[in-house]
Structure 1
Amino acid sequence: MGAHRKGAVRAVTAVHPEPVAPTGPVAPAAPAAPAGRDGYFDVLRAVALVRVVAYHVFGWAWASLVFPSMGVMFGLAGTLMARSLRRPALTVVRGRVRRLLPPFWFWGFFVVTAMLVHGWMPGWRIVYWIVPLGDPPGSAWAEQAWDIVWYLRTYLWFVLLSPLLLRVFRLSPLVVLALSLVPVVLLTYGWQPPEGRLGSALTDLATFLFCWLLGFAHHDGVLARLRPLAVVLPSLAALAHGGWYALAHRSAYGGTYDLDDNPLAQAFWSAGFVTLLLYAGKWVPDRPSRSRLVAVFNARAVTVYLWHELALILAVPLIDRFWEVPAFAAYLPLESQWFLFAVGWLLIAGFVLACGWVEDVAARRKPTLLPGGRAARMGG
């Protein structure tokens, strides 16, 4: 990943049984995981989103080691994509794109308008604000807001490539899965990716390719059929290599061991971590989450991801105004980052209420103020 992102961010995410459609002359996939296991997925996605917001408030480098949110989100999305591809590929891809773009356009309207008001004038690359196949242009003034689009761009490319990737994966699942780490190794030690949008896109795709294909392996039952030792040992080896590379090459990445600054370390650490996480799902009771909060996180995952940086930006001047109220200045911890974290979440909740309905429209559901039934999935 390029040095233009932070946290989930340079790194912010994303199951329904359906009739099986033929996939060609490949071995048939194993039955999908039971629908009840959605609860495990939903909790993981909610934790990933919370970690994304926490990182952007506190800037903890160790957070990417404790819970590599982006790897987790790509792994979950890969599983859901493989499940959906039991239907015709064109229908699935069109549906995923339809669910992603309207929330992106709605959010982008406000971001682009604000940049135009502040003197920014785009060129032809403004088309990336319509379909984010590349990083959309933006002004330095609003970089904190639009910098997060890298995730949507990478997710969109994985969606478009998934029909082909799934066919190749099913030719020899374990071999293809192992080879999926080769591109990030080549980009690190061999071929230098070009500067700009193309290089960033290639690097991010290479970094999270393993996690996306791991989602395929989870859906097809490839992961569940392996013995624990055959999963744990390679996962620990990947974690060890990723952790070692992050610590040993800090000087090359700004003196930090933050995985989100280091594609190779991110790829291997996420590979080991997400493999263990998804493999552990086989022992999770097959029942959906009963948490209303988890349901809201999943039904509004795109909204939380897109609007969380704007919420954090707005929280700063809002807290500045609190200083003008003597009681607030005397009794509230206005200088604490935890207070910023709390205010940020209040504003995120406001954006979910005000803007989350766009996700319902994009998914062709009846718009609701606050979802509470079966959770929708990011891009699902």
Structure 2
Amino acid sequence: MTVVADAFAARHGGAPAGVWFAPGRVNLIGEHTDYNDGFVLPFALPHRAVVAAAPATGPVSRVRSAQEPAGAVEFTAASVAPGDVGGWAAYVAGTCWAFREAGYPVGEVVLELDSDVPVGAGLSSSAAVECAVGVALAGLAGVQVAPTELARIARRAENEFVGAPTGGMDQMAAVHGRAGQLVFLDTRDDTVERVPFDLAAHGLELLVIDTRAPHAHAGGEYGARRADCERAAAALGVPALRDAVPADLDRLPDDRVRRRARHVVTENARVLEVVRLLGAGADPRGIGPLLDASHTSMRDDFEITVPHVDVAVEAARAGGATGARMTGGGFGGCVIALCPEDAVGGVTAAVERAYAERGWAAPAVFPGTPSDGAGRLA
């Protein structure tokens, strides 16, 4: 907070009107179910995008990111439209556009952005930026925007302005997160329940392993998976794969489409079982096999893992993890590993050793701790 506020003051000659934040997220389980009207179970991370903001004194908006050395990007918030701004600043300009499209007042703004959410790691660094900008815009305009409405605005920015065909899980986790709890989201109607996730009480820790493998959503592979899911739902005559059951899958003649659908149908069932177990107060070790099964499904049926990810999962299990899976949209990014506290060192060492043996760059490993969602810092 202090760093970004100080940067704002140094650049603009005065303190910002406020400082706002939104977190990245880890998805415990429920991958590629969100755009199929299904169930997901993410939580907000302590890693955040932070925005210092104030109304602009001139006719244009200006945004600068501490992570982007090229300098400020300018646009006109009052008239910006899809296609006007590209690159990293599209997430900012797109949020201004979507906020305006939702009927809220948007004036020209100056923004200083800083983030410690790893970029390209599948931890929703883009949603963190969108939601941080969204709460900043609401604060500057003096309007109350409900968290779910804010998440929908941010998702529209990502889908329609940036052009990434993602579901709404990332933004909902960013605004609904709460320390010590998971966000159980039914993406059909955006209802949210919170599920307790106190691993320390059971002598457990959830490790997040950033594999450092490149990760991108706007490309064709993510969209291709979504299109296959839509084909499957149409062939089955259901509104979305959320409405299909395992017995329906044999009616899909195309093997690839059938495997894509099988992942979504079984993943929804796994999410519900994890919620049932944790909600009943069961030992979280019991969800380990479900995490493992989720990864197998993503690898074999949805085909979204890569060697860096698969090696990390296998090494984590060999090192003592109770369960491990890729998290995020796939094709790179992060792995999560549920570990007994006394196995954390062994799991970390096993993954680092497996990477070193292959000549890969060392992964980054840190604890995944459920944290609070978007809000104002100052």
TM-score (normalised: structure 2):
0.25
More strand by share: 2
More helix by share: 1
